[in-house]
Amino acid sequence: MAAFFIYTTKMSDDKNYHVQRLSDREFSDRDAINEFLDSEFLAHVGFIENSTQEPFVIPMGYARDGDRILLHGSTGSRMMMQIAAGAQICVTITQVNALIAARSTFNSSINYQSVMIFGRAIVLKDNEKMAALEKISNGLIPGSWDYTRPITAKESAATMIVALPLEKYSAKQRTGSSHDEVEDMNLPLWAGVIPVERSFGTPVAAEYASDIPVPAHILKRGQ
């Protein structure tokens, strides 16, 4: 059975930000949405490229900081430059939880969670920029900010950090097992759920760092 949820603020009257199918299953559990966003680290950022007017979708690391999503990239990136100039973007975070095998191709599906966040991001500066970069760094590998050498002025100047408010967003998920038509119930075909699980493997040292013990925060992330 599929389940869908949505939460929007300031856009409640705009149907473009609402789930169109099975809208009666929408709900506004912000805590569940925050928990989902905190469990992931890869987003896909969509925007319209100015010179070609074609849509681009770029994968990049992110972190949630309260009521906003933090993104970082090169100051020379055309996407980041357009974001800094006020371009509308759509940030999508997705987690696949299972493959659904039904007795028909039509009813086969995927269990997943997905959140799309819409709007314009703002560029962060100075101390706020450094705090955001620390948040993103520790979101990817907890403890890495304190372990690695400090960022240099040159590296900071080449890095742009932007914050997208969690104000306009749509969230959707499918859960449960397979669903088949009544007329297919007696078919001698297997149906059910194939769980998808994510795990981190054993850390592998770079050749130039092979003589250094793996630090505790890396081992913990690799578990």
Q: Residues 169, 75, 144, CA angle at the centre, nearest 5°?
A: 75
Domain 2-222 has CATH 1.20.1340.10: no
Whether residue 207 is predicted with pLDDT greater than 50 in this model: the reply is: yes
Whether residue 24 is predicted with pLDDT greater than 60 in this model: the reply is: no
Q: Please, are residues 94 and 42 in contact by the beta-carbon 8 Å criterion?
A: no
Model pLDDT, residue 221? 84
Any bridge partners for residue 63, and if so which?
Answer: 70
Model confidence over 111-165: pLDDT tens digits? 999 999 999 999 999 999 999 999 999 999 999 999 999 999 999 999 999 999 9
Q: Which of 48, 11, 9 is nearest to 30 (CA)?
A: 9
Model confidence over 72-98: pLDDT tens digits? 999 999 999 999 999 999 999 999 999
Whether residue 104 is predicted with pLDDT greater than 60 in this model: the reply is: yes
Whether residue 70 is predicted with pLDDT greater than 80 in this model: the reply is: yes
Q: Which of 43, 37, 63 is nearest to 141 (CA)?
A: 63
Query: What's the mean pLDDT in 39-58?
Result: 95
How many helices and strands (H and E) does the chain possess? 6, 10
In sequence order, which residues have a C-beta less than 8 Å from that of residue 177 and are 6 or more positions away? 1, 100, 191, 192, 193
Instruction: Identify the band that residue 29 occupies on the pLDDT scale cut at 50, 70 and 90.
Output: confident
Longest dimension (CA), the chain: 68
Model pLDDT, residue 22? 57
23 or 152: which leads in pLDDT: 152
Model pLDDT, residue 173? 86
Domain boundaries, the chain: 2-222
Whether residue 214 is predicted with pLDDT greater than 70 in this model: the reply is: yes
Query: Distance between CA atoms of 101 and 169, rounded to whole angstroms?
Result: 30
Q: Please, are residues 91 and 69 in contact by the beta-carbon 8 Å criterion?
A: yes
Residues making up the chain, counted from first to last: 223
Query: What's the mean pLDDT in 64-70?
Result: 97
Tokens of 190: 């297997």
Query: What's the mean pLDDT in 170-196?
Result: 93
Q: Give the CA distances from residue 217 to residues 108, 144, 146, 157, 199, in Å, rounded to whole numbers and listed in that order.
A: 40, 7, 10, 28, 16
